[in-house]
Structure 1
Amino acid sequence: MTTMTKTEGEPALPGSDPFLSVRDLHVRFSTEDGIVKAVDGLSFDLERGKTLGIVGESGSGKSVTNLTVLGLHNPMSTTVTGEILLDGQELTGASNRTLEKLRGNKMAMIFQDPLTALSPYYTVGRQIAEPFMKHTGANKREGRAKAVEMLEKVGIPQPKTRVDDYPHQFSGGMRQRAMIAMSLICNPDLLIADEPTTALDVTVQAQILDLLKDLQQEFGSAIILITHDLGVVSKIADDLLVMYAGRAVERGSVREVIKSPQHPYTWGLLSSMPRLSSDVNEPLSPIPGTPPSLLNPPSGCAFHPRCEFPELVGGTRCSTDRPGLPAGRGAACHLTAEQKQSVFIEKIQPRLG
């Protein structure tokens, strides 16, 4: 299991050696309306060769966290505090020159929309080869040969011909494969996949996930998979971090979180998923309410305005006291372990079928 051993803001335990370590990360955006608290005290670890799934609704802070790891934020309007260590190297406050050397080489990202991420003016092969030439000093001939090799690795047919095609000549699934080839061409130690199967049909989704698993075994990369779909993350991740309103609300192995979720928000995510075994006319169980404004997030537990069970805690604790995330497996919730188990068995499991 991925090493996730300390509460928010604390350093790793002596003897632990995560490849990526994020500690008490805060990300603030300055806007005309005020300060947006996009990430609010996030901590997690990731080992080499492991996959961490980060799930949550839009606006939960998933993508902002990982763009910050890569240094792809605007320093003029963004304030970042906390610690980000990549293989022992501090990234918070690192210079643009340092980050440019790391991006595409030691860490890379698969963006959500390859049609937007790929330039329509250059061939797919040229764009795949660019980071390889930049970081290795290879010439155009060597870069093109490497691009062909990578296109073959990700399953593009006739790679020697398709390397000279433009993005619009690729299907959606092929463009996503091309993005994976581009991100892996320098054999990065950390690969961040931001919703890599969005807008793809189920068959192509499965192919992309299988491809990521196969390439991870070959290259040994650590992977962060960002998604809102627990079904997707369950197929590839080793561990799971559930985020809400810029905070981590639950973490553990994928099996633990899927089979025995402990946070009401995780219960809501699971309950809202359609199931193959359910009747076609059976209504879904959406999470009530709307995600909070990060300009003025709720006090206490950020999820309490949408939670079904604050009366079990009693008083105003949920609305006034922010619950901490326990070390290791656990959830940031004021419900006792006995209450969580009782509610899950009596009310949540019947919804899941």
Structure 2
Amino acid sequence: MSTLSQPATKPAADASRGFLSVRDLYVHFATEDGTVKAVDGLSFDLARGSTLGIVGESGSGKSVTNLAVLGLHNPRNTTIRGEILLDGQELTGASERRLSQLRGKKMAMIFQDSLAALSPYYTVGRQIAEPYMKHMGASRKEARERAVQMLGKVGIPQPKLRVDDYPHQFSGGMRQRAMIAMALVCDPELIIADEPTTALDVTVQAQILDLLKDLQHETGSAIIIITHDLGVVAKTADDVMVMYAGRCVERGTVREIMRTPRHPYSWGLLGSIPRLDSPVDLPLVPIPGTPPSLLAPPPGCPFHPRCAFPDQVAGGACRTERPVIPEDEPHGAACHLTPQQKSTIFAEQIRPRLR
């Protein structure tokens, strides 16, 4: 179990908060070069039956956040502080035994690399059946029948025959479906999908995303989609959290984020997406620079070294003061630009590039 810190007294569950509620989450890794601040004060809520898309560049803290929810970080070099409530149960500071009971049954994860996540030594059916036997107390026969049922539900042809195949006998798309079957075999209430469509062709991507939506409608599960692909977010998510340097820099509904983003980093992500209706010779507009080192994040706004607008903020606050998202703003951005400045910049400089 990770090295965890928690309040001396546990607060009562707040009914107004989501099925999954994260407050002031910090995840730091001890390394030879210093402390990596992978997640640096993150808060969000997720309701049952809803899908949250978490987007950002590699190293922004997306996967680290969700591995903390599952309790999968190495305890030898990880320090976790904050509050993680799942259906009112405190996960921060929970024992490994308790987390093991929840993983697979109450919450489950679809990993990014299905070939690496599936063991090459066991059949696909056995790997799907194992958590069902562990959490549901089923016999081997019952678990095998459940594995066949789940393979059929996720669209594997001839599931009674393929249940005895090994992962290398499945195509990439079929392995990803098998991963989904394994994650959903116990009908978990929280599903975390980490880049579930990476390395899949666009047809299979669409099928996987449609499958997740259909299964969510059937079970009412809450889903977190971790991705750098805003197209995936637009297709699947209800709400979006944009992460940068271990922090949430913007949050809102998918419509708000896609149509009226308020943070320069969100503008950059949207502006770097190629469009089918754009001239073929029109160059893409990348975000300048590189993500900051999490060993020594820049002072003030972590995005200011790559931002085009810090000089428009009075007093140089971008370079000295950390911006926060106001609690009373459902669609908010951690940015020192005034609402009027954001509206003007977006209307005059950003929106024309997004059309």
TM-score with structure 1 setting the length = 0.95
Aligned residue for 2:292? Answer: 292
5+ residue gaps in structure 1?
1-10
Counterpart of 1:174 in structure 2: which amino acid? M
Task: Give deviations 1:307-329, integer Å, cap 9, x for gaps.
Answer: 01111113321010000112221
Counterparts of 1:1-353 in structure 2, within 5 Å, are 15-327=15-327, 328-353=330-355
Q: 1:169 to 1:51 in 2, by over 3 A?
A: same
Offset of 1:281 from its aligned partner?
A: 2.6
Task: Give deviations 1:243-286, integer Å, cap 9, x for gaps.
Answer: 00000000000001100000000000000111111122321110
Residues of 2 paired with 1:316 and 1:259: CA distance?
29
Offset of 1:13 from its aligned partner?
A: 11
Q: 1:194 to 1:325 in 2, by over 3 A?
A: same
5+ residue gaps in structure 2?
1-10
Residues of 2 paired with 1:223 and 1:338: CA distance?
34
Residues of 1 paired with 2:179 and 2:82: CA distance?
30
Q: 1:169 to 1:63 in 2, by over 3 A?
A: same
Task: Give deviations 1:152-205, integer Å, cap 9, x for gaps.
Answer: 110111000010111111111110000000000000000000000000111111
Residues of 1 paired with 2:70 and 2:282: CA distance?
42
Counterpart of 2:340 in structure 1: which amino acid? E
Counterpart of 1:342 in structure 2: which amino acid? T
Counterpart of 1:236 in structure 2: which amino acid? T
Task: Give deviations 1:269-305, integer Å, cap 9, x for gaps.
Answer: 0001111111223211100000000000011000000
Counterpart of 2:332 in structure 1: which amino acid? G
Residues of 1 paired with 2:209 and 2:325: CA distance?
30
Aligned residue for 1:3? Answer: none
Offset of 1:138 from its aligned partner?
A: 1.1
Counterpart of 1:19 in structure 2: which amino acid? F
Identity between Structure 1 and Structure 2 (%): 75
Counterpart of 1:340 in structure 2: which amino acid? K
Task: Give deviations 1:209-232, integer Å, cap 9, x for gaps.
Answer: 000000000111100000001111
Aligned residue for 2:5? Answer: none
For residue 315 of structure 1, give the secondary structure of its aligned residue in structure 2: helix
Aligned residue for 1:8? Answer: none
Residues of 2 paired with 1:347 and 1:179: CA distance?
43
RMSD: 1.2
Task: Give deviations 1:94-139, integer Å, cap 9, x for gaps.
Answer: 1000000000010000000101100111111001111101111212
Q: In the alignment, is the contact (CA less than 8 A) between 2:20 and 2:46 conserved in 1?
A: yes
Task: Give deviations 1:64-98, integer Å, cap 9, x for gaps.
Answer: 00000000001110000000000000000110000
